[in-house]
Chain A
Amino acid sequence: MATTPHASFLRYERYRYLKFASLLCLLSIVAYWWHEPQDGPNGGTWLGYTLGTIGALLIVWLAWLGVRKRRYSSTLGTVKGWLSAHVYLGLALLTIATLHTGFQFGWNIHTVAFVLMAIVVLSGIFGIAAYARLPTLITENMGDADRETLIDEILDLNQQSLKIADLLGPEVHRIISRSTERIRIGGGLRDQLFRPLPQGRGLLDELRRVLADKQRAAAAEAYDPDSSSTVIFMAGEMAQARKSGDAAEKARQLMELISRRNALITRVNRDIQLHAQMQIWLYFHVPLSIALLAALVAHIVSVFLYW
């Protein structure tokens, strides 16, 4: 983790903020352990108010990262330093806020604020893990290529395979034509996060029928219902085309194009998936942070309104 450049903010200034946050947690825990309020630990003792104040200030400051990172001209520390502190103090917040509750929970706005805080911190932890792990995988998957170029290439390969398929007869053209229409890159939230679904059954059934028509029962039996379907179909097609050398050559070319295209689709979809996984935590972290600020205001107002 520490070897990737993405994780280096964690080691900022020789773990300066890790040390600071650990000290803060340690002091809080010792104080909590030492403090024996008359009616059990809760947010209303002097230590409870102290931890609550520290926690609230931390939340506001942690949320301020969203502002600070947009102020490119700011000289108040580097964004890297802020991020390092953000991570470690955010983790410390989990300890401090938990001690602030005195482990008293209920169905109320106070516990809602705590739960929101916990989800925000946990999503942040997921974010750190994602930033530590996924960039390596993205680089492994994509190499020097970029996604736009690969998509251009996929569409280009579609055109080329259609041209060749046209020469192999209307039935082959039809199958390839449908296949080019049905390629799936990216998609909805679920598709992006958990890989695109394999091609629909309609196409598979039709391919089977075509294969039966052409009396290639054997090929139809071995047919694998996966995105590589076109490739397998082409293998059968090639076997028949071997009679005429030209047709065989064309079929081989077509198969090569389609398998290259499918490999590219897999790579692009993998890239989309990795990027989605690297960003999804933000969709919890950021909106719930804002929700947390609202819950925090409600918590503080209600507690002091009904002091």
Chain B
Amino acid sequence: MRVLVRTFQQQGDQRIATERGLIAERVTIGRGTDQDIYTPDLRAALAHAEIIPDRRGPLLVAKTANGVWVNGTPAQNAKLAPGDSIDIGRFRLEVLGVGGVPELILGYEERRSQAAEVQSRKASFQTRLNQTGLSLRRLAWGLMALLLLVGLVLPLGMRYGAGPAGANARDRAVEQAGNPVDDSVWLSGPVSSAHRFFVEDCSACHEKPFQQVQDSACMACHKDMKRHSDDEALLSHPAFAGQECTDCHHEHNGMDGINAQSPTLCTDCHADPDREFASAKLPPAASFASAHPEFAPRISSFDAKAGKFMFAKQRQPMAKLRETTNLVYPHDVHLNPKGIDAPDGKKTLACNDCHQADSRGVSFEPVSMEKHCASCHRLDFDPDDPDRELPHGRPDQIQGVIRDYYYAKALQGGVRDMAAPAVVRERRRPGDALDAGSTRSALAWADARARQTMVDTFERRTCHYCHEVQRTDDAAMPWTVAPVNLDEHALDGARFDHAAHRTEDCGSCHAADKSKASAEVLLPELASCRDCHGDADSNTAVPSGCTMCHGFHIADSHQFGPAKALPAKHPKLSKAEPAVAPATKPVPAAVPEKRP
């Protein structure tokens, strides 16, 4: 095999090549001085490798078990092709040509001196963290860019770029929900369930950037929200004058609605209302468990002259309170556990036989004579005809009904009444005419009988049983029956949901089974509520904040919205005069009166 070895040497700036030819069976390479190509590097073996001719071309065969590095990988043998490089310690052989004449041209070069080799080896060690590809600067700038993009630029683009189109918040929210890029990373907390349907449309509430949510955003939907009072004097007080929705209602605080739960919102004023609102004459309420006014039910009294009921709040122990209903109704008799006499035998009554829950279960349907009383309290007036009954609730018609009944009876004849005149007693054929004398005598009997029955009905039996009946001088209407008050909503200042208390027995709050008169007020005392209900932060009783029973938006007419121009200091306030009618003075009822 003929081999040309081209030795390169660096001299100054120049790279000088010298050539020598070899003719041998094989070319030996190694650290031994007898080798054809001498590589004096301690890491090389004395006989490191050989190049032998093969029928496919020159073949490199390693003579050491460590192998030879060909093109950067250790090999035991390798077919040589132009461009291959063989590293032996700090020496490099490069295949420059193969297959011509000579059969092999090798480049030979000492890549670096022994000292440089050591330095290069040393430099190849990674001994510091910053040599491992970690860079504080790159990490810092990269993370900063990422966070600014995701946390600021994209959401800002959503806000000021082409936002979702739609006529209302819901449409825009639906449109935005389909957009994979959104600004939900800015959402500071879960939106209340009621507002979720437009949660994607931030601008529905946040109308202007860098401006707090305004009432106008809330009022866009909540149009009819009432204020706390109808008294403009009170509303001009600083506590109310600048009031905004967001003072009490904070969004992004969870699913359970945005109504403020803290009792201090109420008790800040109501713990000592006289300090700022003396004119309202409100009792102090600082805590349900320990400092809450006793109940003040609306109690009825009857103005007989005007024929109207008057209502006034009265704050007294329930046992002392008496109201006027103009109805004779002893609860204890009706609730007698042994039962009461009914037309068809003994009957035991329960509360819900008369007090039937309304459709929402919050309160009760009104008690009605026809539905609840009439099956026992029959309105018959003639023992001979027990199915004939008087109309209820129409005392003006009763005289006519009874007279007509007896006139017809007298004129027909056949009445079995020994005291009646003969014309009334005798049976007649239909169509037989009576003479004037007989007719007069029959009608006189009927008049007397009707009078007697009416006295009985109004003063002894039927009406008298339950109603306040008064005899009058008016011949057209000789008796009047006083109107009846059956109004049950006696606690106006609070909500009470009977359905929520369904598991309780009626008697645990209402002592009806011991009540002898309808004038007794059967509402429970505050103390009986406190058996179960405690303060808002109670751990041992039902936590009951003010808003469990009381509302804030309780004005009848005054609404939130564009504020009416009120004087900064209302004259009424400065004089501290009663701004509302004193609560104890009876005021005419606005409720429709019920008549017997």
List the A side residues contacting B11 at CB < 8 Å: none
Q: CA separation between A147 and B126, bound complex, in Å? A: 13
B211 within 8 A of A: yes
> Which residues B136-157 have CB closer than 8 A to chain A?
136, 139-148, 150-152, 155-156
B129 adjacent to A155 (CB under 8 Å) = no
| Chain B residues whose CB sits within 8 angstroms of the CB of A151 once the complex forms | 122, 125, 127
From A110, A166, A177, A298, contact of B188 by CB (8 A) = A110
A301 contacts B125, C-beta separation under 8 Å: no
- Cα separation A187 to B265 with both chains bound (whole Å): 65
Q: Is there contact, CB below 8 Å, between A155 and B118?
A: yes
Task: Answer yes or no: B243 CB below 8 A from chain A CBs.
Answer: no
Which of B44, B47, B122, B144 is packed against the most chain A CB atoms within 10 Å? B144
Q: Is there contact, CB below 8 Å, between B186 and A306? A: yes
- The answer to whether A181 and B127 have CB atoms under 8 Å apart is no
Q: Are the CB atoms of A287 and B143 closer together than 8 Å? A: yes
Residues in B neighbouring A289, C-beta threshold 8 A: 140
Q: Which of B66, B143, B185 contacts A291 (CB 8 A)?
A: B143
**Do residues B184 and A108 form an inter-chain contact, with CB atoms below 8 A?**
yes
- By beta carbon, the residue of chain A nearest B159 is A305
Question: Are A38 and B248 in touch, CB under 8 angstroms?
Answer: yes
Q: What string of 1s and 0s marks CB contacts (under 8 Å) between A273-300 and chain B? A: 0011001101100111111011101110
Determine whether the beta carbon of B147 is less than 8 Å from that of A112.
yes
With A108-B185, A291-B147, A294-B147 in contact, is A286–B140 under 8 Å at CB?
Answer: yes
A283 contacts B129, CB within 8 Å?
yes
Asked whether B213 lies within 8 Å of A287 as measured between CB atoms, the reply is: no
Decide if B260 touches A39 in the complex (CB within 8 Å). yes
Of A159, A185, A192, A291, most buried by chain B (CB within 10 Å of CB) is: A291
Smallest Cβ-Cβ distance to A289: which chain B residue: B140
Within 8 Å by CB of A290, from B42, B127, B144, B250, lies: B144
B 106-149 contacts with A by CB, 8 A: 118, 121-122, 125-129, 131-134, 136, 139-148
Contact check, A305 vs B262: say whether CB atoms are below 8 A apart: no
B265 touches A147 (CB 8 A): no
Given known contacts A294-B143, A305-B209, A112 and B136 CB-to-CB distance under 8 angstroms: no
With A162-B42, A170-B45, A305-B210 given, is the CB distance from A189 to B134 under 8 Å?
yes
> B156, B159, B210, B250: which contacts A307 (Cβ < 8 A)?
B210
Nearest residue in B to A272 (C-beta to C-beta)? B127
CB B120 to nearest CB in A, in angstroms, measures 11
Q: Contact at A108–B126, with CB atoms within 8 Å?
A: no
Question: Interface residues of B, CB < 8 Å — how many?
Answer: 62
* Contact between chains at A301 and B152 (CB < 8 Å): yes
Between A39, A173, A299, the greatest number of chain B beta carbons within 10 A of the residue's beta carbon is seen for: A39
Which parts of B194-220 form the interface with A (CB within 8 Å)?
Answer: 202, 206, 209-213
The distance in angstroms between the C-alpha atoms of A186 and B124, with both chains bound, is: 10
B438 contacts chain A at the CB level, 8 A cutoff:
no
Distance (whole angstroms) from the CB of A195 to the closest CB of chain B: 14
Residues of A within 8 A of B147 (CB): 112, 291, 294-295, 298
* Residues in A neighbouring B46, C-beta threshold 8 A: 166, 170, 173
Q: Does A163 contact B (CB under 8 A)?
A: yes
Roughly how many angstroms separate A173 CA and B133 CA in the complex, as a whole number? 36
- Measured CA separation A279–B156 after assembly (Å): 37
A273 to B64, CA, bound (A): 35
Given the known interface contacts A39-B250, A106-B190, A283-B136, the answer about A177 and B45 at a Cβ–Cβ threshold of 8 Å is yes
A189 touches B125 (CB 8 A): no
Interface centre among B31, B129, B134, B155 (most CB of A within 10 A): B129
CA distance A163 to B185 in the complex (A): 67
Of A40-48, A53-61, A255-263, the one with at least 4 CB within 8 A of chain B: A40-48
Sample of 7 further A-B pairs with CB below 8 A, known A152-B122, A306-B202: A166-B46, A177-B66, A210-B65, A276-B128, A291-B143, A294-B147, A306-B206
